[in-house]
């Protein structure tokens, strides 16, 4: 393999428990794979050149009750970076397949530990991984943690949330503005460790000089708008101060969840300067087929997906119009983390009822899909002691 391109990297990461949660179930990791450096304790921005085995940045948002979410997110970052550290220098497609495979293996490990340990049953975690081996950033995603790119004074999201709210937005059932107050914003469609197989969504970004990427959990992008993030990032070019400012802004909004952010800036002669209209967005990436996770599928216990009826696995407020007219569906706390029940139908507006019916329609279609190929829906709970609600069938992925 030829020498790595001249790309310089500056990175800083930080996590905060927030003001509501008892435990910090988020985890992040910064890894210079070439230099065998990995850390989630960064006192000041790290600076290093791109090596021939690449770099990796990870943000994971755990869930599952008590400290199980913390276990899941920690297992994810450790498993993924271990797998990447074991790989040899490789070209971009093979590197991307290695990232995908590493996330799949992490899913299997968390799934097995959850299955075999009663106190960790049902734990899971989101995962957003940004990896670089040349001028093209590879992003792998499970769940609703995000990756943004700051370029030319614009902040663009380059991942798609794997969430019920995002699906409804793309289907035209609600606007992005309406989604901010959506009662079921806590429902995500994939999480590592909750089912035996996941579908890692890969995307790509052709980097330019001066690009800054932002990886963050929904503890940041939930209470803080994209415009507010952009304004702060433009005002504060020091990565450490920018990360501190972003976390403080989420805390100023009551810090309803754990908050994690990783910021990385790229430079070097191998990167072209950005053009005036050089925009970025979600661009899917298919590196072709590669090796599959090494675990024997027959070793998985399918009883986790079959012992409950469908109704037992769907949140009660999504079961029918009788739930809606009884006033069960109520706008929850910030980002859908906390929920409650109203005393009667007067608490519901017409838009709320229409939204609830849209959710019901979505879940009807989801159940049809489940009968054919399988779907997963995970409800991220608002309490450290809460549990996940999931819809599972077979071993398929959404």
Residue ranges of domains in the chain: 8-286, 304-391
Distance CA 16, CA 259 (A): 5
pLDDT digit string (tens) for the chain, length 398 residues: 678 999 999 999 999 999 999 999 999 999 999 999 999 999 999 999 999 999 999 999 999 866 799 999 999 999 999 999 999 999 999 999 999 999 999 999 999 999 999 999 999 999 999 999 999 999 999 999 999 999 999 999 999 999 999 999 999 999 888 887 888 888 999 999 999 999 999 999 999 999 999 999 999 999 999 999 999 999 999 999 999 999 999 999 999 999 999 999 999 999 999 998 898 999 999 999 975 444 443 333 333 332 222 223 233 333 333 322 222 222 223 333 332 223 232 222 333 323 444 444 555 444 434 433 344 556 675 444 343 433 322 333 33
Cα–Cα distance list, 182 to 29, 39, 126, 328 (Å):
31, 36, 20, 14
How would CATH label the architecture of 8-286? 4-Layer Sandwich (3.60)
CA angle 222, 342, 310 (to 5 degrees): 75
Question: Under a CB-based contact definition with an 8 Å cutoff, are residues 12 and 262 in contact?
Answer: yes
DSSP 101-117: HHHHHHHHHHHHHHHH-
Closest CA to 103 of 58, 69, 48, 49: 58
DSSP 343-371: SSGGG--HHHHHHHHHHHHHHHHHHHHHH
DSSP 41-102: --SS-EEEE--TT-EEEEEEEEESSTTHHHHHHHHHHHHHHHHHHTSPP--HHHHHHHHHHH
């Amino acid at each position: 393999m030829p020498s790595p391109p001249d790309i310089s990297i500056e990175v800083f990461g930080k996590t905060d428990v927030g003001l509501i949660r008892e435990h910090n179930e988020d985890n992040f990791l910064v890894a210079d794979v070439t230099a065998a450096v990995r850390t989630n304790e960064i006192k000041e921005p790290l600076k290093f050149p791109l090596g021939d085995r690449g770099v990796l940045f990870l943000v994971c948002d755990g869930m599952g009750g008590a400290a199980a979410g913390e276990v899941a997110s920690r297992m994810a970052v450790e498993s993924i970076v271990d797998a990447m550290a074991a790989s040899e220098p490789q070209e971009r497609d093979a590197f991307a397949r290695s990232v995908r495979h590493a996330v799949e293996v992490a899913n299997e490990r968390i799934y097995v530990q959850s299955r075999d340990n009663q106190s960790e049953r049902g734990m899971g975690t989101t995962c957003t991984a940004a990896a670089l081996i040349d001028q093209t950033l590879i992003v792998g995603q499970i769940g609703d943690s995000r990756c943004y790119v700051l370029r030319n004074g614009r902040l663009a999201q380059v991942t798609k949330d794997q969430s019920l709210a995002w699906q409804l937005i793309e289907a035209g059932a609600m606007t992005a503005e309406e989604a901010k107050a959506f009662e079921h914003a806590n429902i995500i469609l994939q999480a590592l460790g909750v089912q035996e197989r996941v579908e890692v969504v890969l995307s790509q970004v052709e980097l330019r000089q001066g690009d800054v990427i932002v990886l963050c959990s929904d503890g940041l992008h939930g209470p803080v708008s994209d415009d507010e993030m952009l304004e702060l990032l433009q005002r504060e070019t020091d990565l450490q101060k920018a990360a501190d400012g972003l976390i403080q802004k989420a805390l100023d909004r009551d810090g309803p969840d754990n908050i994690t952010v990783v910021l990385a800036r790229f430079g070097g002669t191998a990167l072209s300067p950005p053009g005036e209209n050089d925009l970025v967005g979600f661009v899917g990436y298919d590196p072709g087929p590669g090796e599959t996770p090494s675990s024997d599928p027959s070793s998985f216990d399918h009883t986790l997906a079959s012992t409950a009826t469908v109704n037992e696995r769907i949140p009660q407020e999504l079961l029918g119009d009788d739930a809606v007219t009884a006033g069960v569906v109520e706008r929850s706390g910030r980002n859908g983390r906390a929920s409650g029940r109203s005393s009667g139908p007067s608490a519901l507006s017409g838009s709320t009822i229409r939204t609830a019916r849209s959710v019901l329609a979505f879940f009807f279609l989801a159940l049809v899909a489940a009968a054919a190929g399988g779907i997963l829906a995970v409800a991220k709970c608002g309490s450290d002691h809460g549990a996940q609600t999931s819809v599972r069938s077979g071993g398929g992925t959404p």
